[in-house]
Structure 1
Amino acid sequence: MAAAPRERSPFLGLLPLPERTAVTQALRTETVGGLVLLAAAVVALVWANTPWSDVYEQIRDFHFGVPAIGLDLSVQHWTADGLLTIFFLVAGIELKREFVVGELRTPATAALPVVAALCGMVVPAALYAATVMSGGGSLEGWAVPMATDIAFALAVLAVLSTHLPAALRAFLLTLAVVDDLGAILIIAIFFTSDLNLMALGGALAGLVVFYLLQRHRVRGWWWYVPLGITTWALMYNGGVHATVAGVAMGLILRTTRDKDETSTPAERTSHLLHPVSAGVAVPLFALFAAGVGVSAASLGEVFTQPEPLGVVLGLVVGKTLGIFAGTYLAARYTRARLNPDLAWADVFALAVLAGIGFTVALLIGELAFPDPSAAEHIKAAVLIGSLIAAGLAALLIKRRNGIYRRLYEEENRDDDHDGIPDIYQRTTGPVPANADE
Structure 2
Amino acid sequence: MPGGNRKNRTFLGRLPLPERAFMLDALRAETVGGMVLLAAAAVALVWANSPLSDAYESVRDFHFGIDALGLDLSVAHWTADGLLAIFFFVAGAELKRELVVGELRHRHTAALPVIAAVCGMVVPALVYGLVATSMGGTWNGWAVPMATDIAFALGVLAVIDTHLPAALRAFLLTLAIVDDLGAIIVIALFFTSTINFPALIGAVLGLALFFHLHDRRRVHGWYWYLPLALVIWGLTYASGVHATVAGVAMGLLLRVARDGEEGRRPAEHIAHLVRPVSAGVAVPLFALFAAGVTVSGDTLGDVITGAEPLGVALGLAAGKVLGIFGGSYLAVRFTGARLSRELAWADVVAVAMLAGIGFTVSLLIGELAYPDPADLEHIKAAVLLGSLTSALLACVLLRARNSKYRRLYEEENLDVNADGIPDIYQRHNADPDSPSEDGPRHGGDLGTASTPERGAPCSEDPHLRPSAPGE
TM-score in same-fold range (> 0.5)? yes
CA distance in 1, matches of 2:6, 2:284: 48
Q: Render the CA deviation track for 1:150-177: whole Å, top value 9, x for unaligned.
A: 1101111111101110000000000110
CA distance in 1, matches of 2:367, 2:142: 13
Q: Render the CA deviation track for 1:31-59: whole Å, top value 9, x for unaligned.
A: 00000000000000000000000000000
Identity %: 67
* 2:386 maps to 1:385: yes
* 2:203 maps to 1:203: yes
Q: Specify the alignment match of 1:177 in structure 2.
A: 177
Q: 1:4 Cα deviation (Å)? A: 8.0
Q: Specify the alignment match of 2:267 in structure 1.
A: 266
Structure 1 unaligned regions, length at least 5: none
**SS in structure 2 of the partner of residue 141 of structure 1:** coil
Query: For residues 301 and 34 of structure 1, do their structure 2 counterparts lie closer, same or farther at Cα, with a shift above 3 Å needed?
Result: same
**SS in structure 2 of the partner of residue 341 of structure 1:** coil
Query: For residues 17 and 66 of structure 1, do their structure 2 counterparts lie closer, same or farther at Cα, with a shift above 3 Å needed?
Result: same
Q: 1:193 Cα deviation (Å)? A: 3.0
Q: Specify the alignment match of 1:254 in structure 2.
A: 255
Q: 1:335 Cα deviation (Å)? A: 1.7
- Kept after mapping to 2: 8 A contact 1:125/1:146: yes
Q: Specify the alignment match of 1:21 in structure 2.
A: 21
**SS in structure 1 of the partner of residue 73 of structure 2:** strand
CA distance in 2, matches of 1:80, 1:344: 37
Q: 1:7 Cα deviation (Å)? A: 2.6
Q: 1:264 Cα deviation (Å)? A: 2.7
CA distance in 2, matches of 1:353, 1:220: 39
- For normalisation by structure 2, the TM-score amounts to 0.90
Q: Render the CA deviation track for 1:203-251: whole Å, top value 9, x for unaligned.
A: 0110011111122211122221111100100000100000000000000
- Kept after mapping to 1: 8 A contact 2:48/2:294: yes
* 2:322 maps to 1:304: no
Query: For residues 367 and 4 of structure 1, do their structure 2 counterparts lie closer, same or farther at Cα, with a shift above 3 Å needed?
Result: closer
Q: Specify the alignment match of 1:101 in structure 2.
A: 101
Q: Specify the alignment match of 1:243 in structure 2.
A: 244
After the TM superposition, which residues 21-420 of structure 1 pair with which residues of structure 2 at under 5 Å, given as runs? Answer: 21-214=21-214, 215-259=216-260, 262-420=263-421
Q: 1:5 Cα deviation (Å)? A: 8.2
> What code does the residue aligned with 1:257 have?
R
Query: For residues 5 and 120 of structure 1, do their structure 2 counterparts lie closer, same or farther at Cα, with a shift above 3 Å needed?
Result: closer
Q: How many residues matched?
A: 435
- Kept after mapping to 1: 8 A contact 2:314/2:386: yes
- Kept after mapping to 1: 8 A contact 2:350/2:397: yes
- For normalisation by structure 1, the TM-score amounts to 0.97
**SS in structure 2 of the partner of residue 259 of structure 1:** coil
In the TM superposition, structure 1's runs of 4+ consecutive aligned residues that sit over 6 Å from their partners are none
Query: For residues 279 and 430 of structure 1, do their structure 2 counterparts lie closer, same or farther at Cα, with a shift above 3 Å needed?
Result: closer
Q: 1:435 Cα deviation (Å)? A: 5.2
CA distance in 2, matches of 1:102, 1:301: 44
CA distance in 1, matches of 2:106, 2:261: 27
Query: For residues 404 and 130 of structure 1, do their structure 2 counterparts lie closer, same or farther at Cα, with a shift above 3 Å needed?
Result: same
> What code does the residue aligned with 2:40 have?
A
Query: For residues 297 and 260 of structure 1, do their structure 2 counterparts lie closer, same or farther at Cα, with a shift above 3 Å needed?
Result: same
Q: 1:140 Cα deviation (Å)? A: 0.8
CA distance in 2, matches of 1:34, 1:435: 26
Q: Specify the alignment match of 2:449 in structure 1.
A: 431
**SS in structure 2 of the partner of residue 384 of structure 1:** helix
Most deviating of 187-196 and 144-153: 187-196
CA distance in 2, matches of 1:4, 1:306: 50
CA distance in 1, matches of 2:261, 2:341: 42
CA distance in 2, matches of 1:167, 1:432: 19
